[in-house]
Structure 1
Amino acid sequence: MAYELFYWPTIQGRGEFVRLALEEAGAGYVDVARERGGMDRLMKLLKEGAHPSFAPPFLKAGALTIGQTANILLFLGQHHGLAPLDEANGLWTHQLQLTIADLVAEVHDSHHPVSTSRYYEDQKPEAKRRAASFVKERIPKYLGYFERVLGKREWLVGERLTYADLSLFQVVEGLRYAFPRAMGTMAKDYPGLANLRDRVAARPRIAAYLESPRRLPFSEEGIFRHYPELDRS
């Protein structure tokens, strides 16, 4: 089927985790809000239906409307060979994705620690304190965990790529954009993650996507933002 992805039209954000899975799967999809009249459809669907989403992203798959990034990826993984079929490893993949979601939330809070409705410039002192802790304590904790889970293997779960690998690729890319100094000094500590990032980037469908206009650039409007004053190694 041709899927409809609903997410904000100008940023990668959480929608990018879904886009990467759709691209790797070779699934047909429409990025609805980037089409004419798409934002009107997005806003309408947030308020209507039996199972409205709290916020984008959400995915329409036939009669289904699926919200929450990890939930969408759980669905796509099961239907497009991006997750193990056995229950234990399927749950393990989902667990890893939920941990990635926790990390993404902390990335966001590193530049908006007080309120999402206030500009970054209105909370810079608090952001500097939050980002300092994030860089020194939280990035190593999360990346050390994923490095340990990966071990000597190529992929996080079993012998095949899963949606969790695609999401971890996006996290590494985003952290390199947002905190280049900090990530530069820590890269030697996480060789497995660096190799995983390169393997994902080299996959034919992902490589083509990254070079296409469908891949939106990182910016200071998304989750991963580069503010030099927050990037301390």
Structure 2
Amino acid sequence: MPYELYYWDGIQGRGEFVRLALEDAGVKYLDKGRTSPGAQTMMEFLKGSHAHDQMPFAPPFLKDGDLVISHVANILLYLAPKLELVPEDEASRYFANGLQLTITDFVAEVHDTHHPISTGDYYEDQKAEAKARSTAFIKDRIPKFLGYFERIIAKNPARSGFALGKQLSYVDLSLFQVMEGLAYAFPKAMKAAIKDYPKLAALRDTVARRPNIEAYLGSARRLGFSESGIFRHYPELDID
């Protein structure tokens, strides 16, 4: 049976990190949230009204047979060995999971640039705070996180251009999504900063050229970035 991915319809969001792994591996999966029955099933899971006793807090979550797994890093930790997107040794798998959890922290900070006060309020209700948060994020947090991942690639003993090991892992796919998202949200800031992260820039290009990813990016399955997702472009929040 194909994997079942549950996430909100119409946005990339956190579900995209899982989609990229599934797409690169070329396995069959059902994007259940993008179908009417699937969306209803997802809400039953979230409300606890589904017959299944493994109730996730929020999407994305993955269903594989009778197993339900929530949280991006947890899903990828489960999928990666099956999809051959992580080295086989235990140390590498836990290291990859740590890198993915760091990406999770970074993505949360990206989200807070446009919703620094409350997710229950509109962006327009917190624009002044969002401007202050975004300015600090661009000046301090982008260099903090991207500088770390740039060093991770540089320190990889395999000198493969990837985050760990000799071959691409799910961490590299997630870094691709982060780089694409930042370029969408903060084009001026990233245009000025990208020269400081040549290894991340090269990794982004390498991932984009992978046959399955290239096909996915050109398909209707790949949803575009928008002002409803995590990476949002508000010109007034971008700086050189």
TM-score, with structure 1 as normaliser: 0.98
Is the partner of 1:118 in helix, strand or coil? coil
Q: Which residue of 1 aligns with 2:194?
A: 187
Shift of 1:35: 1.3
Structure 2 matches for 1:45-194, cutoff 5 A?
45-48=45-48, 49-151=52-154, 153-194=160-201
Tell me the secondary structure at the aligned position of residue 36 of structure 2: coil
Q: What is the match of residue 230 of structure 2?
A: 223
What is the identity, as a one-letter code, of the residue corresponding to 1:125? A
**CA RMSD after TM alignment:** 0.8
Q: Say if 2:32 and 2:39, in contact at 8 Å, map to a contact too.
A: yes
Deviations 1:152-211 (A, max 9, x none): 531101101100000000000000000000000001110000000000000000000000
- Matching residue's letter, 1:25: A
- The number of residue pairs the alignment matches comes to 233
Offset, 1:47: 2.5
Is residue 209 from structure 1 mapped to residue 216 from structure 2 by the alignment?
Answer: yes
The amino acid across from 1:187 in the alignment is: I
Aligned-partner SS, 2:167: coil
Offset at residue 126 of structure 1 (A): 0.4
Can you list the C-alpha shifts for 1:27-73, whole angstroms capped at 9, x where unaligned?
10111111132221110011233221110000000110000000001
Whether contact under 8 Å (2:186, 2:238) holds in the other structure is yes
Deviation per residue, 1:52-97 (Å, 9 max, x gap): 1110000000110000000001111021101111111110000000
Q: Tell me, yes or no, if the aligned pair for 2:176 and 2:207 is still in contact at 8 Å.
A: yes
Q: Aligned partners of 2:27 and 2:68: how far apart in 1?
A: 17
What's the counterpart of residue 33 of structure 1?
Answer: 33
Q: Any stretches of 5+ residues in structure 2 without a counterpart?
A: none
Aligned equivalents of 2:112 and 2:31: distance in 1? 26
**SS of alignment partner, residue 160 of structure 1:** coil
Q: Give the residue type in structure 1 aligned to 2:162.
A: W
Structure 1, unmatched stretches of 5+, are none
Aligned partners of 2:160 and 2:167 also within 8 Å: no
